[in-house]
Amino acid sequence: MSKTILVVDDEERMRKLLHDFLVRDGFIVLEAGDGEAALSVFYEHREISLVILDVMMPGLDGYEVTREIRAVSNVPIIMLTARSDERDELRGFDLGIDEYMTKPFSPKLLVARVEAVLRRTEGPREEKLELSGIVLDRQAHTVTVDGRSVDLSAKEFELLTFFMENKGRALSREVILNSVWNYDYYGDARTIDTHVKKLRSKLGDKGEKIRTIWGVGYKFDD
């Protein structure tokens, strides 16, 4: 099921930009242009999985909105600000935000951070993933294909795990790179193509399940 993200920013251009990038990556997006509207939307839609929240807004600012939300919910919050003062960041973390990003920033990087925060806050994960005859055991760190053991490197194992967790979703190279190699990794996106090629080869016929989406990245089709 697609997760719902609430984007709160008084700049319509910024809301549209984030909306387009998040929707492209499979999220449902709700929007609010100020703090009061944000709280109204939040209370009306209890299925919200994460809030992207600007600090400087007319009326209630981001800190006040965070305080109100934290009184009733532990929903993850990523705070956006045009200021990079350490005191502002500490204030946000003291109120219970999960991430802090300073404008201007890359929308692709923000989407990667959304993915990372959601993974951190979703709680216990299934120990075993089973799709199309592929069985991945996190605890034992093993993979079998139709009962045949497959020897994967640590990074190939993480990559396959990420694909299986996000089955059916088109994943951009940036999102994969920032999620599997962590979002602060400054590697070349071709690293992904190399690992995918090796992973497909090791999975045999099942390697075809990892489809190339031209101009975007990859998708695991179950």
> 51-106 pLDDT, tens per residue?
999 998 988 999 999 999 988 888 999 999 877 667 777 888 888 888 888 888 88
**All domains of the chain, ordered by start, with CATH?**
4-121 (3.40.50.2300), 128-220 (1.10.10.10)
> 101-148 pLDDT, tens per residue?
888 888 888 998 898 888 877 755 667 899 989 999 988 889 999 999
With beta carbons less than 8 A apart as the criterion, state whether 131 and 222 touch.
Answer: yes
What pTM value is reported for the model? Answer: 0.59
Distance CA 118, CA 1 (A): 14
Q: Based on the number of CB atoms within 10 Å of its own CB, is 208 exposed (0-12), middle (13-18) or buried (19 or more)?
A: exposed
Tell me how far the alpha carbon of residue 172 is from its chain's centroid: 11
Of 127, 126, 106, the residue nearest 172 (C-alpha): 106
Q: What is the DSSP letter of 130?
A: E
